[in-house]
Chains A and B, each alone.
Chain A
Amino acid sequence: MTVEQNFEALDQFPAGMRVLAVDDDQTCLKILETLLRRCHYHVTTTNQAQKALELLRENKNKFDLVISDVDMPDMDGFKLLELVGLEMDLPVIMLSAHSDPKYVMKGVTHGACDYLLKPVRIEELKNIWQHVVRSRCDKNRGSNNNNVGEKRDGSGNEGGGNSDQNNGRANRKRKDQYNEEEDEERDDNDDSSAQKKQRVVWTVELHKKFVAAVNQLGYEKAMPKKILDLMNVEKLTRENVASHLQKFRLYLKRISGVTNQQAIMANSDLHFLQMTSSLNGLDGFHHRPTTVGSGQFHGGTPGMRPFPSNGILGRLNSPSGIGVRNLSSPPAGMFLQNQNDLGKFHHVSSLPLNHSDGGNILQGLPMPLEFDQLQTNNNNKSIAGSSMAFPTFSTQQNSLIRAPNNLVVLEGHPQASPSGFPGHQINKRVEHWSNAVSSSTLPPPQTSNSIHHQFDVSPLPHSRPDPLEWNNVSSSYSIPFCDSAATDTTNPGAFSRNTDFDSNANAQPGVFYDSLQMRQSGNYGPTTDAAMLSNNPKEGFVVGQQKLQSGGFMVADAGSLDDIVNSTMKQEQSQGELSGGDMGYGGFSSLRTCI
């Protein structure tokens, strides 16, 4: 649409809002179309998800909102949701006859801005325009910095505030001024946004740089301006970076949130790695000793959204990919990509799936991350997956978790988490995890299920008290992140997760710590990871800003965790190999008390 058209549309808004309706059921589609027309929206319909994507891709500015059914034969509605959110950043409303809360949850975690039940009533449709406005406001806020700078002589806005907050504040003020003439502003913003944004494609390389910059600055402290400076990429605007960062953060949150639900653990790692590996064949990512990603997760990787590659997505399509789907795509890719550069964030992807171990991937990997995350986000459960930072929420995770104790079920592990509350789980898990980690280098191989848990560090007591298996782990197992010395070569993945996804990065404790440190700052974990992951803000992130959950599982307290782990480890080591469950548990309990 031209600017003028936009302007006119805005004038009458919400009338004239352009909606794309997708539903394979022609009866429902017809009804929906008529209902929408009755609301004075401008409606385009299609009964195929693929066609919908084409329509959207051919002109990103052609639609304001997408309404899509969940169950469609050619593509899962959630997948479409993710894609739209990532690529086009449009608000998407899900529609379904499934009233089951878990579907609603899935919709939310995948980034849907609303979920309607069939039969749809016109009253509900009359309000859907709010999602468009909300999403525009979010965008404007993000781009306002630039806009303000540009439009208002950039009076100190750009120059003064490196921090988002400063800019945000300034923007807000200006925004108020703007809002007085809303249409105008919107028009301006759209205009400038159109000019500025130009839909930057967050390629893997770009995303890597982004993540590296964020890492360097520290997740918490990462501000768009600084990131931009560090990245030193021509034609990249601060606004691009800001929105990318936002998405990344949301993504991370989302992942952590989802993973919490699903006991992400191993799955997430796997997915993530899978995703990453599948992503464009990024070499860096395949650090894993076993190319886990490539084959294994196909079914499960939830939304590994490869940034550029659709292949990964395909993988993600697996039905099991709950929630992760969204996450996986972007994060996975992102992580992988960034691995090399970042090394720090990638908890997820870097996990070298050590299938060879029989699924004891965890060996030392991500655990630290998750552990940290757990620490920090007790409430957030985000660490969801502690296992995997981001992507693995999907069912796979669940499966992984179910897997015999191998999985370090950090969060959401059905088995492990006695308490429904994620936060609790996290705490407990962390305890166990750290215990497990420290005590066991070997993830109980036998348990490794089909899903290669990356984290198969050892069965967490919670998930499956299996002292014996647990005790298998050698005391040399070092929690990657807490103990640099513990860099366990046997756990190639251990560090990789946090650090670059270098599977062979046995010990990059330094890196790991760095990442931890970064994360310590807060629940930025997820977001940072997300940032890292999302090369393609649109594509990489499964979830757009709206979509991201507040999973925030970033490692909050690496320091404390480290201490705990170290102390635990020392305990373990002093006790020698865990003789048995008792020891192990004893160790855990002691750890627990520490914690």
Chain B
Amino acid sequence: MDLVQMQKSLQDYTKSLFLEGILDSQFLQLQQLQDESNPDFVSQVVTLFFQDSDRILNDLSLSLGQQVVDFKKVDPHVHQLKGSSSSIGAQRVKNACVVFRNFCEQQNVEACHRCLQQVKQEYYLVKNRLETLFKLEQQIVASGGMIPAVELGF
């Protein structure tokens, strides 16, 4: 695949993520913050996000798996995940967290389990897509090309 094609692929791919609601404009902001002085900003931040989220999801699984669920512990985790996912623009993850928190407040264990599953699902989805995105970018850079600026029709 030549460079131009790769760049086009990347653009299309990125667009699709926005269109599907997996990413939102916050991600755009991050991309705009990336520049020559900070060339890997987005991937750095996203990597941090993955690290944090993996940990949080783990903790959540543990907490919810207890005999007696301590919602006072569950809620802050979900809250943090909501904060970080919204900061990087992982819209669907954030939305799932919002729902999750509501059920936490109601102390509905059953529903919380379902929410956790939902959050995990969305998280793995966005993780997967972003990793693909970065791979595409790396390919372009490796081919000597520049990452095209994101142009969103909307």
Contacts and interface: CB of A to CB of B under 8 A. Distances in A.
Contacts of B33: 31, 34-35, 38, 122
Contacts of A121: 29
A122 B87 CA distance: 12
B29 A30 contact: no
Contacts of A30: 44-45, 48
Contacts of B131: none
A426 to B, nearest CB: 32
B57 to A, nearest CB: 14
Interface stretch (B63-71, B77-85, B118-126): B77-85
B136 interface: no
Nearest to B46: A27
A26 B52 contact: yes
Interface in B100-134: none
B30 interface: yes
A71 B49 contact: no
Contacts of A96: 83
B86 interface: yes
A120 B87 contact: yes
Contacts of B88: 27, 31, 119
B79 A27 contact: no
8 contacts: A25-B87, A28-B83, A31-B45, A34-B41, A34-B45, A96-B83, A97-B79, A97-B83
Interface residues of A, number: 19
A98 interface: yes
Contact of B83 (A35, A38, A118): A118
Interface string A488-524: 0000000000000000000000000000000000000
Nearest to A28: B87
B79 A71 contact: yes
Contacts of B80: 24-25, 71, 97
A26 B79 contact: no
Interface string A106-147: 000000000000111110000000000000000000000000
B112 to A, nearest CB: 19
A119 B52 contact: no
B82 A27 contact: no
A120 B49 CA distance: 16
B148 interface: no
A80 B103 CA distance: 30
Contacts of B41: 34
- Chain B contact-residue range equals 20 to 34
Contacts of A120: 87
Interface of A: 24-28, 30-31, 34-35, 38, 71, 96-98, 118-122
A46 to B, nearest CB: 15
Interface string B17-53: 0000000001001100100001001001100110110
Given A34-B41, A119-B86, A119-B87, A27 B26 contact: no
Main secondary structure of the interface of B (DSSP, over half): helix
B79 A118 contact: no
Contacts of B44: 30
A118 B84 CA distance: 8
Contacts of B84: 25, 27-28
Given A25-B52, A71-B76, A97-B79, A118 B86 contact: yes
A120 B76 CA distance: 19
A97 to B, nearest CB: 4
A99 to B, nearest CB: 10
A306 B87 CA distance: 37
Contact of B87 (A24, A27, A71): A27
Contacts of B79: 71, 97-98
A71 B72 CA distance: 13
The 9 closest A-B pairs by CB, nearest first: A97-B83, A27-B84, A119-B87, A27-B49, A27-B48, A119-B86, A119-B26, A118-B83, A28-B87
Q: Most chain-B Cβ atoms within 10 A of its Cβ — which of A24, A25, A35, A97?
A: A97
B71 to A, nearest CB: 14
A98 B33 CA distance: 25
A27 B87 CA distance: 8
Nearest to B41: A34
A28 B29 CA distance: 13
B53 to A, nearest CB: 8
A31 B83 contact: no
A34 B38 contact: yes
A118 B87 CA distance: 6
Contacts of A122: 29, 33
Nearest to A123: B29
A29 to B, nearest CB: 9
